[in-house]
Amino acid sequence: MNEEMKSAVSRGDIRYLLETVYGDQPDSRKCAVEAIAGVGGGAAVKALLGVARDRARLKPELRLHALEFMGTICDKFEYLSLLDEFIAGDNRKVVRGARRMFRQADPVDLPRRLAEKGCLDHQAVSTYGRYREAGAVALLEGFIEERIAARDVLTTPHWGRVYIAVRALGKIERSEASGTLRNMERWLMERTGRGAGFLQSERAGKLKKAVESSLESVEKE
């Protein structure tokens, strides 16, 4: 942080620091973000939030830097509330970064929030299984049933997520998932007998094992 920024921090000159964030010296931008956090207070939080929200003019790395330093001047409740805006529906890099920050602050609540937002990307589905998020069961079932109905379970865009969704249901261990897993089991049995190519046969085999394992978990007494 140069002397001009230090002076701006001491006098609380957030406007000057924001001008630096948007200025023509890229090397100074992250320092300016940190300086805004150094000012502290509600005005600094508002400024950093504005930087984090600016998809049009700022790169994801700088937006994430603003989110990270926002956490140094907010209490936990406020920080999680602000991060919630960025854990879905944004640039992929920003989403992943925001989720990482959220998980560091409160790993327990992240899966619930993702489920409430209807997130079904690969990372979210893995998170539901890892943390055994019961609130995601209906969401995962709906996704699997849609893919069965569309008959595209084994296609490249979907099979990986279907696989981890099936495994997630097994980890969550809720009996209501049995029906969907049985539907998947029947679909795979029908599919196996139709002369599928090598790649689809290999995928079907892996998925069949995952279904069997998950059924053992959700149907155990």
- ∠136-113-183 over CA atoms, to 5°? 15
Pair of tokens at residue 38: 């150094």
Nearest Cα neighbor of 99 from 89, 112, 84 is 84
Q: Are the CB atoms for 18 and 47 separated by under 8 Å?
A: yes
Q: Which residue has the higher pLDDT, 94 or 5?
A: 94
Quote the distance between the C-alpha of residue 156 and its chain's center: 21
Structure-block tokens of residue 8? 């701006």
CA atoms of 66 and 29, how far apart (whole Å): 10
Question: How would residue 221 be classed by pLDDT, with cut points 50, 70 and 90?
Answer: low
Please count the CA atoms within 13 angstroms of the CA of 89 that sit on its side-chain side: 8
182-192 pLDDT per residue, tens? 999 999 988 76
Closest CA to 32 of 4, 52, 54: 4
Given this model, what pLDDT does residue 112 score?
Answer: 95
Mean pLDDT confidence for 116-135 = 96
Structure tokens at 150: 């569309």
Tokens 């603003």 -> residue: 66
Q: What is the pLDDT of residue 3?
A: 84
The model carries a pTM of 0.88
Asked whether 161 and 172 are in contact (CB, 8 A), the reply is no
Diameter of the chain by CA atoms? 75
Task: Kindly report, residue by residue over 20-37, the tens digit of the pLDDT.
Answer: 999 888 889 999 999 999
Judged against a pLDDT cut of 90, whether residue 5 lies above it is answered with no
